[in-house]
Amino acid sequence: MISEALAFRIREHGLFSLAFLPENFFGTFLRPPLLTGGRLTPDLRGMGLLLTTPYLLLAFWPGKRPALESRALLNCLVIALPALLYYNDGSMQFGNRFALDWIVLGLIAATSAARRAPRWLPWLLTAWGAVVGAWGLQWFRGAFTR
């Protein structure tokens, strides 16, 4: 059963539309946690990948790209575009459910580009993602196992 709000979006714009791009881009890459009662809590609509998986930023590190890296980035874009134009954001999630379709290709590109970045940066971004993931796991355990 589709909620009335989602049914309205479908009637207004169809299942896929450029009208959904700004909201989906924000949700996929930038959405922050919420401040609830003075504490940070995950946004149950998902949080941006720049917060949950910052290692992906390495995919855009400047320099000469090997063919595999360029192809991985291009395929990321091709695969991500339909989800960015979709009427729905994936519902309850910690990161972004629809990113699972392309994130492996993004990680391949990021890992290739990491060789050009300062040696400490991939470690820092990996640690940040692990800390955010551990925080989310602890929050979800407390919120849903009572």
Helix or strand (DSSP H, E) at 127:
helix 120-144
Helix or strand (DSSP H, E) at 41:
strand 39-41
How high is the mean pLDDT in each 10-residue block of the chain (146 residues)? 86 95 95 92 91 97 96 96 91 86 97 97 98 92 78
Helix or strand (DSSP H, E) at 35:
strand 34-36
The reported pLDDT for the residue numbered 127 is: 98
Give strand pairing partners of 45: 93
Beta-carbon count within 10 A of 92 CB: 9
The reported pLDDT for the residue numbered 6 is: 85
The reported pLDDT for the residue numbered 146 is: 64
- Domain ranges within the chain, ordered by starting residue: 11-31+43-144
